[in-house]
Chains A and B, each alone.
Chain A
């Protein structure tokens, strides 16, 4: 319990300081908001790659669909009573259904087949969005949509409003930060808590067990397809939430949100930050998006640099930044994975085993 309290206190502190710390190094508070929003999708992706061992190259479909459904909800489906919660709720519900449908088709496949199949389905949705001009605006996307205020029962908050002006020296001004950041930081905190609970639960244990030894997990009696499908659906829902937030934050979206490049970005963010770690995906998302913001202003070669960083990380830091440098502590609850592991002499020295 005491550990939990410290964990959440530090997380909250980090989230509060983030938009100010990013200021003197060339970032801005709006970038901090974007990073957290995209980071939620990266955390969802981490559940797939890091815990279920599923390398999806189609996360952009959930992200893009989330953005489109949320914006269409306020502009097209319920234009009379645009409601923030309804937009987010419908987006998550729709994306989850899509994720379950596609997951049913793909979780049986392995390795490159799974990757390319998720990619192919993402391409399918890309073309649907691109061609269904009446609904989606085609190439132009949806633009200039008024994002509704957030109703809280007794009152409602306009997220585009700023905090009062207080000069913070090198860290900018308090008024640089909009309520959007506070809202997104709160959602991020909830997602972190959810993710932490989930990966420490029996569900998370079984996923890790499947990742380490699928055959044994089947013999022990786990229905691995169902666990993988559940992970796929949860990751989809988180990515849909992220897309919906991004759409409402930007008040616009375009077919770009569903491209292969977007899917690839979630892969890059998560792998660079560190798979199988709680904060790795957030760190990777923050670092790469920050570098992109700084470097692409100066040179056309940003995407090349990003590719080189990615390759270097895979070759030299297979655990990602956080997975490699963070101190490895023995995890208290690894009963299932330990039971599934082969006897020590034959076991390959897995990453976490070496230091134990």
Chain B
């Protein structure tokens, strides 16, 4: 899975946010949330077939470079099409209120979003860990040739997983934009913190990423209360500390580091 984390993910997120925005303004939020992942998955497959394909056999650095280049092109195209200004996503009235949880009031949309994200996490986890397809993908990351020899279609599987990952980034981009506003740099400001999350939680570990997300979120909010000036820096300091004490991350497997 993690081999697919790349600079283009930020771009996928941003495309998702903009597609969601445009569709939602025309046909409503639900339509936006459906259109965004589909559009982004489609874009990802085109990108994969046209450009990324040329880099499968090359060294990882050139793969990173090409995703970086495409991310710039996407970001700048969005800026030229939609302008550099920040946009806000419209929320239907039914969702913009708050919901009484018994102990506290919480904005309805955020609550739904949290529930939706938990559901997504479970679905993705089941897909990767429990289906034959997930097995091919996981095995393909370990030993591509062996899986191919055994008859697994790694090529198709990696395209599917790439599109799936991109679609998810697009969906999250669209779903999160009523909370965070949308601008062309959106993708990037989402990419770096999410990587910090992965490093703290543990490279290559699914539950590590979940744990890292909780830690980063809590650290950020707590520091905002105590020392607001340091709130942006604290997650990076945490990351440095984790790297120093436990380089593979809290729940990570050590083999990722050793290469």
Contacts and interface: CB of A to CB of B under 8 A. Distances in A.
Interface string A110-134: 1111011101110110011011100
B232 A127 contact: yes
B236 A55 contact: no
A108 B247 contact: yes
B259 A214 contact: yes
26 contacts: A53-B59, A55-B64, A55-B65, A57-B68, A110-B259, A112-B60, A113-B203, A113-B256, A116-B5, A119-B195, A120-B199, A121-B236, A127-B233, A131-B232, A131-B233, A132-B229, A214-B259, A303-B76, A304-B79, A306-B72, A307-B73, A310-B72, A311-B66, A314-B69, A318-B58, A318-B62
A121 B188 CA distance: 15
A268 to B, nearest CB: 8
A264 B64 CA distance: 12
A301 interface: yes
Interface of A: 49, 53, 55, 57, 105-106, 108-113, 115-117, 119-121, 123-124, 127-128, 130-132, 214, 260, 264, 267, 271, 300-301, 303-304, 306-308, 310-311, 314-315, 318
A300 B80 CA distance: 8
B54 interface: yes
B73 A308 contact: yes
A287 B239 CA distance: 37
Contacts of B229: 131-132
A304 B77 contact: yes
B72 A303 contact: yes
Nearest to B78: A304
Given A112-B60, A214-B259, A311-B51, A117 B66 contact: no
B237 to A, nearest CB: 7
A307 B60 contact: no
A124 B196 CA distance: 11
Given A113-B203, A301-B80, A123 B192 contact: yes
B243 interface: yes
Interface of B: 3, 5-6, 51, 54, 58-62, 64-66, 68-70, 72-73, 75-77, 79-80, 188, 191-192, 195-196, 199, 203, 229-230, 232-233, 236-237, 239-240, 243-244, 247, 256-257, 259
Contacts of B80: 300-301, 304
A117 B242 CA distance: 12
A110 B259 CA distance: 7
A97 to B, nearest CB: 15
A310 B65 CA distance: 9
Nearest to A49: B61
B57 to A, nearest CB: 9
Contacts of B68: 57, 264, 267, 310
Contacts of A307: 69-70, 72-73, 75-76
Nearest to A302: B76
B65 A271 contact: yes
B52 to A, nearest CB: 10
A300 B79 CA distance: 10
Contact of B236 (A106, A124, A214): A124
Contacts of B192: 116, 119-120, 123, 260
A119 B189 CA distance: 12
A301 B196 CA distance: 31
Contacts of B73: 304, 307-308, 311
Contact of A264 (B6, B60, B72): B72
Given A109-B257, A304-B73, A121 B240 contact: yes
A123 B194 CA distance: 13
Nearest to A301: B80
Nearest to B196: A120
Nearest to B240: A105
A314 B66 contact: yes
Contacts of B79: 303-304
A105 B232 CA distance: 20
B61 A314 contact: no
A65 to B, nearest CB: 15
A113 B203 CA distance: 9
Contacts of A314: 62, 65-66, 69
Task: Kindly list the 3 A-B residue pairs having the minimum CB-CB distance in the complex, ordered from nearest.
Answer: A124-B236, A307-B72, A304-B76
Contacts of A315: 51, 54, 66
A152 to B, nearest CB: 41
Contacts of A108: 247, 257
A162 B244 CA distance: 51
Nearest to A132: B229
Nearest to B244: A105
